[in-house]
Amino acid sequence: MTMKKDFGPGVVLDNPAFIHETALVYGKVHIGEGSSLWPYVVIRSEMHEVRIGKRTNVQDFVMIHVGNTTPTIIGDNCSITHHCTIHGAEIGDNCLIGINATLMDGAKVGANSIVAGHSIVTEGTVIPENSIVAGAPAKVIRTRDNRVANIMNAAFYYENAKAYARGDHRVTEKEEFKQAIAAELARLTAGN
């Protein structure tokens, strides 16, 4: 499977791990090192910008766009899971955005947070760091440091993305994958 490498002059690919050939990217967009775009991702930025940090995975059928007055900024080690819509929102580092969640213009999700599947984070909502939010409209239902769990999810996708880039679609069954995941967990939990 070949990675699409030329999306146009406004798109900066900073050594991503994997970009599926069906991903569509338009406008001023920066994809960070080690990040991945999975099947049928669509990213558009006719104004402002979209920035995706390092080792962030944008999963199948995600739509990312800018708001009328706001860019879309996604931090490092994030998982934007299947069918999400991110529209002019900011997401801090180490976040997991659950399946089919929607984040609207001006929403800000603090680092180490989880947005539950099918949640709607409405315009201008500010979610503190280390939150778990759910509902429509989304509300904080718990406070917990989700950093390690969320980084581990991103690490899984990072290793998977590297495997997909070389045509290996079953890397989780291999010892090298298990060792990489174990080493990442050991690094994150050292000293705790």
37-53 pLDDT tens trace: 999 999 999 999 999 99
Fold of 1-192: UDP N-Acetylglucosamine Acyltransferase; domain 1 (2.160.10)
Residue 2 pLDDT greater than 90, yes or no: no
| Dihedrals phi, psi of 71, to nearest 5 degrees | -80, 175
119-178 pLDDT tens trace: 999 999 999 999 999 999 999 999 999 999 999 999 999 999 999 999 999 998 899 999
* Mean local confidence (pLDDT), 1-10: 68
Residue 4 pLDDT greater than 70, yes or no: no
Q: Name the residue type at position 190.
A: A
The domain spans of the chain are: 1-192
Structure tokens at 54: 């390092």
Q: Maximum CA pair distance of the chain?
A: 47
- The whole-angstrom separation of Cα 149 and Cα 75 is 16
Structure tokens at 60: 């199948």
